Structure formats: structure tokens, C-alpha cells
């Protein structure tokens, strides 16, 4: 019986160590830094790389790191049902054209799903909610704003009774937009819808990984 093949090492063709590649990707995604800012920070630490190398590394390895973070988190939280989701959409300009970034966060502020569409009608809301529910399971409550697309889509999904709406109830997701907005300004906006979807998903998972809620955890923990 043939032995199962070991998964190929994704870093096998690169001269830099995996630790340096992870550091570069995490610096660029987590903090509102430009490509040249990351290049300068690494130069101070004795790591000589070009800003185009930073671009290539986050494009190639960023989705791999984000997928691993997301897979581990979903496996741990799959059985937890007392969730309270907060859902909202963000206006994003791509070459002068308005697109919409749909985002769902839980009651602790962790980003569950990010999805980019050209419209914010019932069809777009339905695709976004189906994607989030399929990946994370059912939730106890879904807090939305007054957009009519949400109740129309939730009526088709059969969970309209779980919807909540209030003037300040959705502040959790409104505040979570700030990190993405800072990152968008540092990147001088996006040029393609595909790159926006890729970076939004990557940024969400890296943000969750480092969002430890330090202000509510004691020092010993």
C-alpha cells in the first residue's frame, strides 16, 4: 500500500525563513502601513527586502494564513449557538464606482464574514446571509439597520423572527468598520473588486487573531 504523501512545503522555493514571511504579512495586514513602511521597519531590524516582495508575499501567503486561522476558529465555535450577530454594509469606491462590503460580527466584535457586491438589494443580502449561516451555523439574534433588503432576505430564510433593529443596537459592527477604513486609506483604496474581497477576508481573520479583548482580561489570564 503506498504511503500517503506529505503536503508540500509552501515555503520551499523561498530563501527567506517562514518566520520572516509571517512577520511581513502580519505587519502589513494588521497595521495601517504601506508597502514601503513595512520595508523601512524591516530594514531597521536588519531584514533587507523590497516593497514589491511585501506585496508578493501577502498576496501569496496571506490567504493561506487567514484560512488556517478561520478554520481553527470555526471548529472551536461551531457548537456555540447563543450568538448575537451584528450585520451592516460599508460603501467602498473602486475606480470611482460604488461597491458594498457586507460584514457580520458577533457580540464580542469578532468579524464572522465579509462579502463584496455591486448592489445592496435583496439578492445580495440573501447571498451574504446564506454564506454566513452555512459557515457559522444558526444564531440566536441578528441585529441590522433599517435597510429593507435584510427583512426581505431573512423572510426567505425563515429567520425573520430573529431580527432586531434599533438606533444604537448596531454600534458593535459600526465600530468594527474603523479598522478596515484605516487600512483602506493606507492602501490608497482598491483597484479591483477581486482584490477588495481578498483583502477584506484576510484582514478580518488576522484582526480576529490579535483581538484578545485585553481590557476585560486580567493580567494572570
pLDDT (tens digit per residue) in 186-213: 888 888 999 899 999 998 888 888 876 6
- 217 in a domain, yes or no? no
Give the count of domains, the chain.
2
This prediction has a pTM of 0.81
- 137 in a domain, yes or no? yes
105 shares its domain with 147: yes
84 shares its domain with 51: no
116 shares its domain with 185: yes
165 shares its domain with 196: yes
28 shares its domain with 117: no
For residue range 93-142, what is the model confidence (pLDDT) as tens digits? 998 899 999 999 988 888 889 999 999 999 999 999 999 998 888 888 99
- 31 in a domain, yes or no? yes
- 5 in a domain, yes or no? no
52 shares its domain with 140: no
Residues 6+ apart with CB under 8 A from 136: 74, 77, 78, 83, 112, 113
- 45 in a domain, yes or no? yes
CATH code of the domain containing 186: 3.30.420.10
60-66 mean pLDDT: 90
48 shares its domain with 130: no
Contact 154, 138 (CB under 8 A): no
146 shares its domain with 114: yes
**Considering only CA atoms, which of 48, 22, 54, 16 is closest in space to residue 35?**
54
Q: What is the pLDDT of residue 122?
A: 94
Cα–Cα distance for residue pair 173/56, rounded to 1 Å: 31
Top pLDDT among 13 and 63 is at 63
* Residue-range definition of the domain harbouring residue 200: 79-210
Contact 157, 133 (CB under 8 A): yes
Burial, 12: exposed, middle or buried (Cβ in 10 Å; 0-12, 13-18, 19+)?
A: exposed
For residue range 31-61, what is the model confidence (pLDDT) as tens digits? 989 999 999 999 999 999 999 999 999 999 9
Percent above pLDDT 90 for the chain: 45
Report residue 161: phi and psi, to 5°: -70, -15
- Average pLDDT across the chain, whole number: 86
- 101 in a domain, yes or no? yes
Q: What is the pLDDT of residue 38?
A: 94
57 shares its domain with 134: no
Contact 103, 86 (CB under 8 A): no
97 shares its domain with 148: yes
105 shares its domain with 133: yes
- 3 in a domain, yes or no? no
- 135 in a domain, yes or no? yes
Amino acid at each position: 500500500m503506498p504511503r500517503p504523501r506529505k503536503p508540500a512545503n509552501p515555503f520551499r522555493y523561498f530563501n527567506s525563513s517562514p518566520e520572516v514571511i509571517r512577520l511581513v504579512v502580519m505587519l502589513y495586514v494588521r497595521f495601517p502601513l504601506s508597502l514601503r513602511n513595512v520595508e523601512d521597519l524591516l530594514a531597521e531590524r536588519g531584514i533587507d527586502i523590497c516593497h514589491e516582495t511585501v506585496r508578493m508575499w501577502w498576496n501569496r501567503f496571506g490567504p493561506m494564513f487567514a484560512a488556517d486561522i478561520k478554520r481553527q476558529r470555526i471548529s472551536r465555535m461551531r457548537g456555540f449557538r447563543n450568538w448575537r450577530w451584528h450585520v451592516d454594509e460599508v460603501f467602498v469606491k473602486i475606480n470611482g464606482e460604488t461597491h458594498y462590503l457586507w460584514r457580520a460580527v458577533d457580540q464580542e466584535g469578532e468579524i464572522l464574514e465579509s462579502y463584496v457586491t455591486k448592489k445592496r438589494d435583496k439578492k445580495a443580502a440573501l447571498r451574504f446571509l446564506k454564506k454566513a449561516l452555512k459557515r457559522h451555523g444558526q444564531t440566536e439574534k441578528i441585529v441590522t439597520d433599517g435597510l429593507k433588503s435584510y427583512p426581505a432576505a431573512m423572510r426567505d430564510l425563515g429567520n425573520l423572527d430573529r431580527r432586531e433593529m434599533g438606533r444604537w443596537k448596531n454600534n458593535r459592527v459600526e465600530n468594527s468598520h474603523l479598522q478596515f477604513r484605516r487600512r483602506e486609506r493606507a492602501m490608497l483604496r482598491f483597484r479591483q473588486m477581486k482584490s477588495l474581497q481578498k483583502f477584506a477576508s484576510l484582514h478580518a481573520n488576522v484582526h480576529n487573531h490579535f483581538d484578545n479583548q485585553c481590557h476585560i482580561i486580567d493580567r494572570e489570564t
